[in-house]
Structure 1
Amino acid sequence: MNLETIYQELLTSIKTENVCLAEPLRDHVYTKMGGNADLFVTPESINELRAALDIRKSHHMPLTILGSGSNVIIKDGGIRGMTIGMGKLTNLFIEGDKMIAQAGGTIIGASRKALDHNLSGLEFACGIPGSVGGALYMNAGAYGGEISEVLERATVMTQEGDILTIEKEDLNLGYRKSTFQSNDYIILEGEFKLTIGDPIVIKAKMDALTEARESKQPLEYPSCGSVFKRPPGHFAGKLIQDSNLQGTRIGGAEVSKKHAGFIVNIDGATSKDYLDLIKLVQKTVKTNFQVELDTEVIVLGEDLK
């Protein structure tokens, strides 16, 4: 597989600024760590996305889709094949109480746009640092709300470039899960059904949730957000705190002293530091409380060789 040849082929149908060789993925994820992508494509239209998929398929390249990188760890060896970043597909339309948002836009931006149009339903998402596509993929939630409560349908592209619309009831939405985790569809957009509301009330709720997030979460350091799913009958952060793990470090990664559910990149952490610390937390909590901590963060790529 000659990457330079494939790169030149991509440039015949995709703008030069949307195709990169050996792109450092640490620049595209919230943890600020990880290796390079062999080929990194950031399509700014459906046609460019389809062209990238066609070329990838013709060369039998591995494919990775990356949203805003808020809930992702890229391993230190990077990602082979083609990585498609969706961050330039950000169109958003509102008509009445309906919002259609492309996958690359932020879910925070969608919640703010809803406020601008006096629409209620996305207040819970005002502090979720992810893309619309990532929010659908994970059925993201916070402060008692989640995407499944407002999503109506999703539009996706298949690996062959066909566009499909999938209704909410066929998305298998559950706690931090969706059908997208078991298929290879590429999320293009989500359609949300919101409610006309009082902008003063909507803004007050968003302000309160933003203040709660900023006061409790270690936003001053790079991180992948909340690392672990909520175990049945427990809170991950409480189990970690009760295990006296806050402040524990491996390399440049540290269990946050501010919020035990977060692991932060405090001093040039590698992905190996981060992943080793996750394993240590899981092992310690299992030993102390016989509770398995499952991660909600997505790990991509290869170890450094």
Structure 2
Amino acid sequence: MELLDLKKQGIDIKEQIPLSRYTFTKTGGAAEYLAFPKNTEEVEKLVKATRENNIPLTIIGNASNLIIRDGGIDGLVIILTDLKNIKVSGNEVTADAGARIIDTAFAAAHAGLSGMEFAAGIPGSIGGGVFMNAGAYGGEMQEVVASVNVLTRDGQRKTYSNKEMKFSYRHSLVQDNGDIVLSATFKLQPGDKLEILDHMHYLNALRRYKQPLEYPSCGSVFKRPTGHFVGPMIIKAGLQGKQIGGAQDSTKHAGFIVNKGGATATDYLNLIHLIQKVIKEKFDIDLHTEVRIIGKEK
């Protein structure tokens, strides 16, 4: 079955849509085809159609830690944000891949469950957060994930345990094998609801104070090298505030690159490469991107 046949069946499929509408950087070229499945059955149908018709497939969540090059993406892009159910059962919370991490953390808090406080301000989706083992303020997904439900590229459903996910710093198994996260279950601990919420509000206030949330950005751009902090190195290298096109290394937090207006993905990438080059020259340290970079050059 072809993609346009699925569109006739009611699956939301669009053609040649600029992905800048969906990325947190407000940059990125067009998707050849773009689908918003409403449930896992529609995901399965879309994946099967791409496999049978040899169509490239790209999965996107909330696009908060993502740069899509200006040439866009061939084939089908699936955005999972319509899969957003969150269920609390005992000491566990199960969230669909498209559910926001923030919403999941607050659902846990309102149920009096502790463990996801660190995630109160992470703007990504559950699928993306599991994919990259997202973390903040000393916590990471690997500390609370009990299991992950996936769809393989050949259409099989699997459930991975925490150990099977092979979590490490900003990495997980599904980055290597291409499996599509459908949902994740988090094992948490009972706690005082008001204390949990108070701590989450404190972390979010800290985030607003430290991070340039007033501009579009992809969050923290670089992984932290062992024994070093990226922001101070960028400042020492004289690169804070450096701007290429509409992309600027933030004057509020040097580890962020913001869209000051009219930035392209190419502006972002040129600034990233400049920072990497200068940091290597001055400190002999290789900076690797935390942000995911996909798509074609224009």
- The answer to whether the 8 A contact 2:217-2:258 is kept is yes
Q: TM-score, normalised by structure 2?
A: 0.98
Tell me, in whole angstroms, the C-alpha distance in 1 between the residues paired with 2:3 and 2:260: 36
The match for 1:42 is: 36
Residue 165 of structure 2 aligns to which amino acid in structure 1? L
Q: State the Cα distance separating 1:161 from its structure 2 match.
A: 1.9
Tell me, in whole angstroms, the C-alpha distance in 1 between the residues paired with 2:19 and 2:203: 30
- The answer to whether the 8 A contact 1:13-1:51 is kept is no
Q: What is the total number of aligned residue pairs between the two structures?
A: 298
Tell me, in whole angstroms, the C-alpha distance in 1 between the residues paired with 2:279 and 2:113: 42
Q: TM-score, normalised by structure 1?
A: 0.96
Q: State the Cα distance separating 1:282 from its structure 2 match.
A: 0.6
Tell me, in whole angstroms, the C-alpha distance in 2 between the residues paired with 1:32 and 1:6: 30
The match for 2:249 is: 255
Q: State the Cα distance separating 1:92 from its structure 2 match.
A: 1.0
Residue 43 of structure 1 aligns to which amino acid in structure 2? P
- The answer to whether the 8 A contact 1:153-1:165 is kept is yes
- The 3-state SS of whatever aligns with 1:100 is strand
Whether 1:220 aligns to 2:220 is no
Q: Counterparts in 2 of 1:51-62, with a 5 A limit?
A: 51-62=45-56
Whether 1:241 aligns to 2:235 is yes
1:150 to 144, 147, 165: 144
Q: State the Cα distance separating 1:11 from its structure 2 match.
A: 1.6
- The answer to whether the 8 A contact 1:14-1:43 is kept is no
Whether 1:96 aligns to 2:106 is no
2:171 to 166, 177, 182: 177
The match for 1:277 is: 271
Runs ≥4 in structure 1, deviation > 2 angstroms?
5-8, 12-15
- The answer to whether the 8 A contact 2:3-2:46 is kept is no
Q: Residues 173 and 195 (structure 1 numbering): CA distance in 2 closer, same or farther, change over 3 Å?
A: same
Tell me, in whole angstroms, the C-alpha distance in 2 between the residues paired with 1:202 and 1:196: 10
- The 3-state SS of whatever aligns with 2:257 is strand
Q: State the Cα distance separating 1:88 from its structure 2 match.
A: 0.6
Tell me, in whole angstroms, the C-alpha distance in 2 between the residues paired with 1:6 and 1:24: 22
- The 3-state SS of whatever aligns with 2:224 is coil
Q: Counterparts in 2 of 1:137-216, with a 5 A limit?
A: 137-216=131-210
Q: State the Cα distance separating 1:10 from its structure 2 match.
A: 1.9
2:57 to 42, 59, 63: 63
Tell me, in whole angstroms, the C-alpha distance in 2 between the residues paired with 1:12 and 1:274: 38
2:4 to 5, 8, 16: 8
The match for 1:135 is: 129
- The 3-state SS of whatever aligns with 2:120 is helix
Tell me, in whole angstroms, the C-alpha distance in 1 between the residues paired with 2:43 and 2:184: 17
Whether 1:73 aligns to 2:67 is yes
Tell me, in whole angstroms, the C-alpha distance in 2 between the residues paired with 1:202 and 1:195: 11
Gaps of 5+ in 1: none
The match for 1:118 is: 112
Residue 126 of structure 1 aligns to which amino acid in structure 2? A
Tell me, in whole angstroms, the C-alpha distance in 2 between the residues paired with 1:181 and 1:239: 28
Residue 276 of structure 1 aligns to which amino acid in structure 2? N
Alpha-carbon displacement from aligned partner over 1:155-192 (angstroms, at most 9, x marks no partner): 00011222110111111101111111101100001010
- The answer to whether the 8 A contact 1:107-1:126 is kept is yes
Q: Residues 158 and 14 (structure 1 numbering): CA distance in 2 closer, same or farther, change over 3 Å?
A: farther
Q: Percent identity?
A: 45
Cα RMSD of the aligned pairs, angstroms, is 1.1
Tell me, in whole angstroms, the C-alpha distance in 2 between the residues paired with 1:25 and 1:248: 26
Gaps of 5+ in 2: none
